[in-house]
Chains A and B, each alone.
Chain A
Amino acid sequence: MWLPLLGLLLGILLGLLTDWRIPSEYSSYLSIAVLAAFDTLIGGIRAHLQNIYDEHVFVSGFFFNIILATSLAFLGVHLGVDLYLAAVFAFGVRLFQNIAVIRRILLTKWLENRQKNRL
C-alpha cells in the first residue's frame, strides 16, 4: 500500500538529484504530461476502489493520455490556438470527479467500519 507513495518520493528525489532541466518552451508540455499522469493515477485508484480496475486499461491509459495531451498542446502551439487548455480542462474536471468519488467511497467504508465497531 505504501509502495506507490515511496515510488513517488523516489521519483521526486531522482529528479532533483539528476538536476535535469528542460528548455522553458517545453515546460508547458511537461506540465500537461504531469496532469495527464495524475489523472490516470487517480482514475486507477478510483477504479481499484470500485473493483473495476484493469491493468491493461491503466497502463495503456497512462501512456496514451500523456501522449495525447502533449500532442494536443503541440498542435495548439502550431495552430496558434491554446488547445492545451482543452486538455487542462478535461483532465482537471476528471481529476476533481475522480477524487470526489474516491472520497465518497472511502467515507462510506470508514462509516461502515465505525458502525461495525460500535455493534
Chain B
Amino acid sequence: MTRKTIWHFTFVSLIIGFMLAVQFQTSQEPDVRDTRDIWEIRRDLQKEQELHKQLLNEIRKYEETLEKYEQQRSENKGAILRQTVEELKKEAGLTEVVGEGVVLYIEQMYDESYVGPVSDTISADLLRRLINELNMYGAEHISIADQRLVNTTVIRDINGVTKVDSYPLRSFPIEIKVITPDAEKMYNRLKASTIADDFALENLLLTVSEPQQRVVISPYDGAVRVKQMEAVEEARR
C-alpha cells in the first residue's frame, strides 16, 4: 500500500468517524421528559389553581372598578379617577405608608480576636437575597436605609460600594423597614429562616425587631421614568 493510499484511507475514515460521532450525538439527544412525581404534579396544580384564583380576583376587582366608572361617569368623573391614581401611587411607592411590620438591622459582627480585612459594606447579592426572602414572606413595602424600594429599584455594586438606586450603603447599622399585613408571621418566618446564617458568613449580624404596630416608610424620592410605554390609541379618544 503506497503512502498516498494510506493517507486517502485515513482521511476518508476520519470523515466517517466524525459523521458517525455527530449522528450518534444527534440521536442520543435526550428528549425532555416529564419526570415529576404525583406530589410534584399536585403541588404544581395547586400553584396554578392559586394563580387562577388570584387572576379571577383581579378580574373581579377591575370589573367592579369598571362598573363604578360607568355608574359615576356623569356625576363625579374626577373622584374615581383620583382614587385610582392614589391607589396606583401607593402601589408604586410614591406615598408614605404606615402599617404594622418589622424592622431589620444589619450590623458588623467581628469578634475581639478577629484579625484580617474588615468589609465596610454589604454585598449586593446578599442584600438582594434578603429582599427576595422578605418578598417571599409577604412584604408589601420595604425601605433600605430610608430608601424606598419600588419596582424599578436596582441594588448593585458600583466600584465596591453597594448602592440602592443611587444611594450608597456605607455606614452600619443599616436599617431595613418592612410593612406587611401580618407582622407576627413575618417575624416568625424570619426567625426560622437561614438568611441570618448567610449574613454571618459575611461577618454581618442580622437582627429582627419584635413585630411593631406602627412602621413608617417614606415615599420614593426619585422620579419614576417610564421609557417603554405609551398610551393605547383607543384610550386617547
- Give B6's nearest chain A residue, CB to CB: A3
Q: How far is the CA of A33 from the CA of B19 in the complex (A)?
A: 8
B22:A8 contact, CB within 8 angstroms: no
A11:B23 contact, CB within 8 angstroms: no
Interface membership of A27, Cβ < 8 A: yes
Residue from B1, B4, B11, B17 in contact with A12 in the complex, judged by beta carbons closer than 8 Å: B17
User: Chain B 1-39 against A: per-residue CB contact (8 Å), 1 yes, 0 no?
Assistant: 100111111111111111111111111010000000000
**Contacts A15-B17, A41-B16 known; A4 to B22 CB distance under 8 Å?**
no
B22 contacts across to A, CB distance below 8 A: 15, 20-22, 30
Give the size of the chain B interface in residues (CB under 8 angstroms): 26
Q: How far is the CA of A22 from the CA of B9 in the complex (A)?
A: 25
Identify which of residues 1-59 in chain A touch chain B, using a CB-to-CB cut-off of 8 Å: 1, 3-16, 19-22, 24, 27, 30-31, 33-34, 37-38, 40-41, 44-45, 48, 53, 55, 58-59
Q: How far is the CA of A71 from the CA of B19 in the complex (A)?
A: 17
Q: How far is the CA of A6 from the CA of B12 in the complex (A)?
A: 11
A37:B6 contact, CB within 8 angstroms: no
B13:A24 contact, CB within 8 angstroms: no
User: What are 29 inter-chain pairs, A to B, with CB distance below 8 A?
Assistant: A3-B10, A4-B13, A7-B12, A7-B17, A8-B14, A11-B14, A11-B17, A11-B18, A11-B20, A11-B21, A13-B21, A14-B14, A15-B21, A15-B22, A16-B21, A21-B22, A21-B25, A22-B22, A24-B26, A30-B22, A30-B23, A33-B19, A34-B23, A37-B16, A38-B16, A41-B9, A44-B8, A44-B12, A53-B5
The 7 A-B pairs with the shortest beta carbon distances in the complex, nearest first, are A11-B17, A15-B21, A7-B10, A4-B9, A8-B13, A7-B14, A11-B18
Residue numbers of B with Cβ under 8 A of A are: 1, 4-27, 29
